[in-house]
Amino acid sequence: MVRRQETHLQTSRSAPSSANLSRRMNYRRASLFTSNDRETEDGSTNIIGRDCIAWQTMSQQLTLQLEQRRRSELTNLKVQSVSSNRKPTHIISNTTDATIALDENTIEDESLLKVDVHVIPLEKVVERFNSDLTNGLSDDIVTQHHATFGYNKLTPSRPPSLLWMFIKQLLIGFNGILWIATLFAFLSYKPFGEPAPDISSLGLGVILIIVIFASALFNFYQEVKSMKIVASFSKMQPAIATVKRNGNEMQLNAEQLVPGDIVRIRMGEKVPADCRLISCDDLQVNTSQLTGESAPVNCTIKCTDMNFMESTNIIFYSSLVVQGTGEAIVVNIGDASVLGQVGKMTQGTGGSEITGLHREINRFMVFVIVAALISIILLWITWAAWLNNAQNGYITVNGNIVNSIGMIVTYIPEGLPAAVTLVLTIVAKRMYKQKVMVKSLATIEAFNCVSVIATDKTGTLTKSQMTITALLWGNEGEYMVPIHTEHEQNETSEQEPSIIGRKRPSLSASDIASAMKDLILGACLCNNATKQSSLANNTADNVGNSTLETNGNNISSPSIQLVGDAADVALYQLCNDKCSMDIEQVKKKNPRINTLPFNSKNKFMITANLLEQTSTNNDDNITVLVTLKGAPDFVLSRCSSYKPDYEDEMLPMTDEFRSFIQQRQETLGRSGYRVIAMLQQKMTKHQYDNLIETYKTSKSQPQHQQTVSDEPDLNGLPTNNYCFIGMFSLLDPARPEVPDAVLKARRAHIRIAMVTGDHPTTAAAIAKEVNIFSKQISIDGGTDTLKIERNTEIGHTQAHFMRNTNTCLETHIVSERTTSIQVKGIKRTSNLKMKSNIFKRILDWLLFYLRDPNQVKDIDKLKLIPYGVVVTGGDIHSMDDYMWDWVLSHQEIVFARASPEQKLRIVMEFSKRGEVVAVTGDGTNDAPALKQADLGIAMAAGTDVAKEAGDMVLLDNNFSSIISAIETGRLLSDNLKKVAIYLLPGGSWSEVIPVFFNTWLGVPLPLSLFLAVIFCVLNDVVNSLAMVSEKAEQDIMSRPPAIRRKTHLVDWKLLVHAYLIIGTIECFTGFFCFFWYYSSEGIPLQSIFFTYANYGSDPPINKTSDELLVIQQTGQSIYYVALCIMQMFNLLSARTRYVSFFNHNPFYGKARNLTIIVGIIFSTAVGLIITLVPWFNSVFKTRPVPIKYICPALGFGAALFVFDEIRKLLVRRYPNSFLAKMAW
């Protein structure tokens, strides 16, 4: 009872008032046209999704239930105390109104009230699941738990209804317009066609229904297919968890976890299940996916709230670890986890994705609707104001309805929506084969506009397989690490010494330099790489994963892996393979008592270990070794002494020796080597304890009393007075395919900006190796740098723009406003605002489907400077807009010693200047830059946090895959434009003009509505779908990137080319064949034009009405066949935008596309069937076509083909000409 009372008191203190709870329950409630955006202090928008609202609802309801139960039990205690004449032990406030409010919000589901794993002692949690904190679960218990709890996977959310998807395809887009045409077709049959309804109108309505259903079925099939392909991406890289089982630490698929598993949590990983923390070291998790709160949660091992969902000793499935490490016991898995319960609450509430392609189709659909309406209005105005009176009986109401239907059908490019769905499916397949995991097909569209790639070096441009090449100490001390491993007996510090020379050095060798021994010891102790067994197919925890080989006495197997930072793995392999060291034994005999992990800001790591030789009970005799490992230019300032070449003593640090080290680092850097310095400091255990006590005392003071210092928090470890021991040189070779990929990007007018934490000299050397610094620009021309210094005379900071380090181009006074990273001109919105009237909201809702919500103001790009530039991260915080303009206008750019936070600044500054930026990243701190970029590209070997933030994941960590994806994005855009340029001339222009000729010029209708429909939905659609599978043109990666907001699927250039050029030629050809046939039948042109209702009688024609009808039907069939022939030649021309057909022919070679030939054969077959089959002749009034009347179409088609080949040649020869600027 005592424990229960304490629990109640704890709940009372933590529970908020009912009024506050009521307000919280109504906060961020989703509704139509409301915005779930929240603006942060920096002006950015934080989206609160449905999952976040579900989390808040669950948490608030649980708090309400706890408060309700607490008060109910307190009431019972009060009644019992009154009946027993005892005073109650709790004070109950007057909360009648609040209790009523609680009753109204209480739900029936009380399952979460039974969750006590956050409250009960940790030992009871371990006992409940038959686990063990040291050894974890045994295999037998795991099998039992699998049978009881199942597997750690979420039940997939209910897929969208296939029936509803099909119904949407029937009703939305162009099909919705065709339904209107179908309705009018049936109305034209009856009642408007009475008393003598035309059966062809009924047949037309039936054909349109068939067309609608066929189009809907095709789009539905392709949409389902692409959804399956995208869904399969998630299976390409399963989640991995580090877990203890049977006393061993191993990696396995997170789906294999069960309650009771002891898991290790590291920075950058995703929490694999709901867990209670056993231990944590500066652990912070981001739960924004569940709660919507962007601020990370500081974790503890103590219960801080009776609400299971609010206590900080519980971490939840899918939360991202942004800092620190920890160990935890799994308490809930799969659907039983909070994420699983939230998922159940939000199933079926998600909306379909609106991609840029869909918006382009919507934009074009608006154009089609407006054009069709204008045409129909002109027809009806002409008929009502003139024809109905002046030419009574020429065109009836029913005839005008039929013409209106023709306008609707002919303006709609029926093949375009089908082409979009098909091309997305093809692209998804291609990305799947290339091992590029895209989270959304909309991602591919962004590649078409990418103008800058900000890429990491390690793991992206290089192999991330670092090897130690040399150990350097003193002025002349050097040990070149042999390439091949000589397997000998592993040694610890207690074993006999090895002899240096051809054999490997060891920690205990007596004939090697003391500095070298300390270097090897530091590599063992100041190292976080660990060996782990792996039951998973692949791992993606860290960039430095490496598989150990089984050889000699090394305890390793193909399933044992090294996990850790790439540099730590390299040092581990040096000690293990080259120096005969058993690192695990060294660490065990020299236990670590404190550590400061490496981070990208400090650029160093510190550990404190108790040395084994001095382990006594007297603190004054125990030695603590503090080892610091980091970049020389960052840590040399912390040294007060150094070790000479071969003497066991320390000499005072001098400026000469410091300059010597810096010069040595520069020399190694110019060869592409990375350099790591090793420092150490020894003290007694008593001195160390005093240092830590002083640190704790300072941290326990109130915030306002703490001393403000620029020195980073080192966890109480020493900040200076270190002894410089020596350096390691590391080599991370460049990927062999990267240089060619960089050159390909350069030809595509895409700049590559390398952002690395390496020394500027090393960064520049790698940039030259992979062609980021080219011979024509940076090597021959020169490299620019910034030199920033404080001028005390004028009281301002000056920036010197240097060329080749010795020529000052300009001196600039830095403005005071240098730290703002707000991107001007960019306003990102994710939903619709509520503070507007209903008409404004409806307009916004419509614009959402027509316009990209990421509205970016048009910005004139900077004129590029034909030089390279190297900028260090230390200078970035001092740079103002003028300096950024100068740096980012360089052709070739390298940022060295840059932190992930500075990478975010770099991305935002590029965006500010109108660039479309793709950025790569693999670390936890890269997440903000990945989110900010137009295209965030995470590495498969990166952290879960980075992969969560990115738009796509490179499963092979290959930079060339980015270039391939850009080519795919350009190909997608190209092929859809080709589809449009093919469909519009024949399907719209050449079918609309005959209707106006018939109405305004009084000629017989050259093309019947039935033939127009057949041409649109059969001939053109099949050929347009064949166009989708076109291969990339040879010059596709030599064109500039598309300009966002200025590049559309159908723009005015394409419309001019399609309608005024190709369409006019095709229309002229059809009319030529049509009128030639009439002339051959003895009907001159003057007997056709402006005859209207008097056709055949004024002027008189020596033909009966039946003969005139047969002539007209034959002429319409000739016009139809002529269009089919012209479109075949247009199909061959439209296959390329700039390249000649003969360099991109469909018959053989890389550009082979036999579906084009199939499409031509199909179109020919349709034309023959429609004109020759008697049933079509009798029902739809078609006629066989005499061959001689379609011969002109062959000649005009060939002329069209030659004309377009000449146009492309002139565009290639004169790229700055007016003709080139008008090219589509």
What's the 3-state SS for 928-997?
A: HHHHHCCEEEEECCCCHHHHHHCCEEECCCCHHHHHHHHHHHHHHHHHHHHHHHHHHHHHHHHHHHHHHH
pLDDT tops 70 at residue 617: no
Residue 140 near residue 148 (C-beta atoms within 8 A): no
**What is the Rg, in whole angstroms, of the alpha carbon atoms belonging to the chain?**
38
Q: What is the rounded distance in angstroms from the CA atom of residue 798 to the CA atom of residue 786?
A: 10
Helices 397-411, 199-233: crossing angle, 10 deg rounding: 20
pLDDT tops 90 at residue 90: no
Residue 453, pLDDT score: 94
Residue 1100 is given by DSSP the state B
* pLDDT band at residue 1184 under the 50/70/90 scheme: very high
Closest to 678 (Cα-Cα) out of 643, 715, 710 = 643
Q: What is the rounded distance in angstroms from the CA atom of residue 574 to the CA atom of residue 562?
A: 13
Q: What is the rounded distance in angstroms from the CA atom of residue 696 to the CA atom of residue 658?
A: 33
Residue 491 near residue 580 (C-beta atoms within 8 A): yes
Residue 490, pLDDT score: 44
Decide: residue 304, CB within 10 A, 0-12 exposed, 13-18 middle, 19+ buried: middle
Residue 523 near residue 730 (C-beta atoms within 8 A): no
Dihedral sign from CA coordinates of 359, 361, 367, 368: negative
- Residue 716 backbone class (left: φ over 0; alpha: ψ -120 to 50; beta: rest): left
Residue 761 is given by DSSP the state H
Paired strand residues for 677: 630, 727
Paired strand residues for 726: 678
Closest to 248 (Cα-Cα) out of 146, 136, 131 = 136
Q: Cα separations (Å) of 739 from 169, 435, 753, 774, 849?
A: 46, 21, 14, 10, 41
What's at 228, amino acid-wise? Answer: K
Paired strand residues for 625: 609, 682
Residue 291, pLDDT score: 67
pLDDT tops 80 at residue 51: no
Q: Which helix (H) or strand (E) holds 1206?
A: helix 1191-1213
Q: What is the rounded distance in angstroms from the CA atom of residue 957 to the CA atom of residue 456?
A: 11
pLDDT mean over 233-240: 66
pLDDT mean over 1115-1122: 94
Residue 227, pLDDT score: 73
Closest to 61 (Cα-Cα) out of 348, 347, 341, 350 = 341
Closest to 481 (Cα-Cα) out of 466, 493, 462, 492 = 466
Q: What is the rounded distance in angstroms from the CA atom of residue 1051 to the CA atom of residue 357?
A: 14
Residues with Cβ within 8 Å of residue 586, at least 6 apart in sequence: 492, 493, 507, 521, 524, 525, 575
Q: What is the DSSP string of 610-672?
A: E-GGG--S-GGG-EEEEEEEE-HHHHGGGEEEE--SS-SS-EE--HHHHHHHHHHHHHHHHTT
Q: What is the rounded distance in angstroms from the CA atom of residue 1149 to the CA atom of residue 592?
A: 64
Structure tokens that stand for 1222 in this block: 């008008």
Class of domain 115-149+238-353: mainly beta
Structure tokens that stand for 490 in this block: 């592993």
Residue 1097, pLDDT score: 73
Closest to 540 (Cα-Cα) out of 557, 561, 556 = 561
* Mean pLDDT of the chain, nearest integer: 78
Structure tokens that stand for 1210 in this block: 């002139």
pLDDT mean over 471-491: 70
From 128-137, 708-717, 1029-1038, 1197-1206, the region with the lowest mean pLDDT: 708-717
Residue 596 near residue 605 (C-beta atoms within 8 A): yes
Structure tokens that stand for 824 in this block: 């001007």
pLDDT tops 90 at residue 816: no
Paired strand residues for 477: 473
From 35-49, 107-121, 687-701, the region with the lowest mean pLDDT: 35-49
Closest to 715 (Cα-Cα) out of 696, 734, 742 = 696
Residue 1013, pLDDT score: 85
Torsion angle, alpha carbons of 305, 306, 309, 311, to 10: 30
Closest to 410 (Cα-Cα) out of 961, 989, 886, 1166 = 989
**Homologous superfamily in CATH for domain 451-461+734-825+855-915:** HAD superfamily/HAD-like (3.40.50.1000)
* pLDDT band at residue 545 under the 50/70/90 scheme: very low
Q: pLDDT higher for 200 or 574?
A: 574
pLDDT tops 70 at residue 305: yes
* pLDDT band at residue 625 under the 50/70/90 scheme: very high
Q: Give the start-to-end residue ranges of the domains of the chain.
A: 1-114, 115-149+238-353, 163-228+355-435+964-1221, 451-461+734-825+855-915, 467-529+565-731
* pLDDT band at residue 758 under the 50/70/90 scheme: confident
Q: pLDDT higher for 50 or 400?
A: 400
pLDDT tops 60 at residue 389: yes
Q: What is the rounded distance in angstroms from the CA atom of residue 565 to the CA atom of residue 272?
A: 21
Q: What is the rounded distance in angstroms from the CA atom of residue 582 to the CA atom of residue 225?
A: 53
Residue 895 is given by DSSP the state E
Residue 275 near residue 328 (C-beta atoms within 8 A): yes
* pLDDT band at residue 24 under the 50/70/90 scheme: very low
| Interior/surface letters 1040-1062, b for 16+ CB within 10 angstroms, e for the rest | ebbebeeebbbeeebbebbbebb
CB atoms within 10 A of CB 37: 16
* pLDDT band at residue 67 under the 50/70/90 scheme: low
pLDDT tops 70 at residue 732: yes
Torsion angle, alpha carbons of 53, 58, 60, 66, to 10: 180
Residue 581 near residue 520 (C-beta atoms within 8 A): yes
Q: What is the rounded distance in angstroms from the CA atom of residue 634 to the CA atom of residue 625?
A: 21
Residues with Cβ within 8 Å of residue 678, at least 6 apart in sequence: 518, 519, 522, 523, 526, 627, 628, 629, 725, 726, 727, 728
**Homologous superfamily in CATH for domain 163-228+355-435+964-1221:** Calcium-transporting ATPase, transmembrane domain (1.20.1110.10)
Residue 273 is given by DSSP the state S
Report the length, in residues, of the chain: 1224
Helix/strand/coil (H, E, C) string of 786-828?
EEEEEECCCCEEEEEEEECCCEEEEEEECCCCCCCCCCCCEEE
Residue 152 near residue 255 (C-beta atoms within 8 A): yes
Return the CATH number of 467-529+565-731, one of 3.30.70.1070, 3.40.640.10, 3.40.1110.10, 2.60.40.1220. Answer: 3.40.1110.10
DSSP H helices in 412-561: 415-433, 442-446, 514-525
Q: What is the rounded distance in angstroms from the CA atom of residue 141 to the CA atom of residue 147?
A: 10
N-terminal to C-terminal alpha carbon distance within the chain: 82
pTM for this entry: 0.74
Counting residues of the chain whose pLDDT is more than 70, the rounded percentage is 77
pLDDT tops 60 at residue 1156: yes
* pLDDT band at residue 330 under the 50/70/90 scheme: very high
